[in-house]
A and B are shown apart, each in its own frame.
Chain A
Amino acid sequence: MIKFALNNLITRRRRTFVSLAGISISVALFISVILILKTAQGAFRKPLENAGSDMIVQLQGEPCVWAVVKLPTNLNPIPFKFLGRIRSLNEVADAEGALITWVFPVSKVTQLEKPSQPPDIIPKDKLQQGRENGASKAPCEYGPPGSFCNDSNNSNDRAPVLTNFSPIVVVGVNPEPGELGPITKSDLKNIQGRYFNKEDKFAVILDRDFARTRNLKLEEMIDLGPRVDNKIIGIVNPGYDARIAGAQVFVPLKVAMDMAGRGEIVDIIFIKLKGGVNAGAVEQKIRKVLENDAVTITTSRDYLSSVAGFSILAQGLMLAIFFIVILISFLFIAKTVFWAVWERSSEIGVLKAVGWRNADIIRVVVLENIILGIAAGLIGSLIGYFASFIYKVNLPAVLPYYLNPYPPCSQYLAKNTIQVSGAFPWGVFLAAIMLTVLIQLIFSLMALLRILKLTPAEATRKI
Chain B
Amino acid sequence: MSLRLENIAKTFKTPNATLQVLTGLNLEIRDKEMWVIFGKSGAGKSTLLNLLGGMDTPTAGKVSVDGVDLSGLKPDALAQLRKDKIGYVFQAFNLLSNLKAKENIILPVMLDKEREKKISRIMQLAEEWGIKERLSHLPAELSLGEQQRVAILRALINSPSIILADEPTAHLDNENATRVIELFKKLNREQGVTCVIVTDHEAIASQFEHRFNLG
Contact = CB atoms under 8 A, between A and B. Distances in A.
Interface in A348-376: 349-360
Contact of B110 (A4, A11, A357, A455): A4
A344 to B, nearest CB: 10
B183 interface: no
A455 B154 CA distance: 20
A357 B50 CA distance: 18
A186 to B, nearest CB: 60
Contacts of A312: none
Contacts of A1: 111
Interface string B154-170: 10001000000000000
A458 B76 CA distance: 17
A358 B84 contact: no
B122 to A, nearest CB: 13
A452 to B, nearest CB: 8
B11 interface: no
B2 interface: no
B15 interface: no
A120 B55 CA distance: 102
B86 to A, nearest CB: 8
Interface stretch (B36-44, B88-96, B185-193): B88-96
Contacts of B79: 352, 355-358
Interface in A302-328: none
Nearest to B107: A354
Contacts of B108: 354-356
A357 B110 CA distance: 12
Nearest to A356: B79
Contact of A353 (B57, B75, B82, B84): B82
Contact of A357 (B56, B76, B84, B158): B76
A91 to B, nearest CB: 64
Contacts of A360: 111
Contacts of B211: none
A359 B76 contact: yes
A358 B90 contact: no
A12 B98 CA distance: 6
Size band of the interface chain B makes with A: 20 to 34
A457 interface: yes
A456 interface: yes
Contacts of A452: 75
A219 B173 CA distance: 106
Nearest to A346: B94
B68 interface: no
Given A1-B111, A351-B107, A356-B111, A457 B98 contact: no
A7 B55 contact: no
Interface string B49-65: 01000011100000000
A141 B101 CA distance: 87
A235 B98 CA distance: 71
B94 A455 contact: no
B56 A456 contact: yes
B26 interface: no
B73 interface: no
B25 interface: no
A187 interface: no
Contacts of A458: 56
A12 to B, nearest CB: 5
Nearest to B100: A11
A7 B154 contact: no
Given A355-B84, A358-B75, A8 B98 contact: yes
Interface string B71-83: 0000110011011
A355 B83 contact: yes
Interface string B167-207: 00000000000000000000000000000000000000000
A460 interface: yes
B168 to A, nearest CB: 15
Contact of A354 (B56, B57, B76, B82): B82
A7 B83 contact: no
Nearest to A359: B76
A356 B103 CA distance: 14
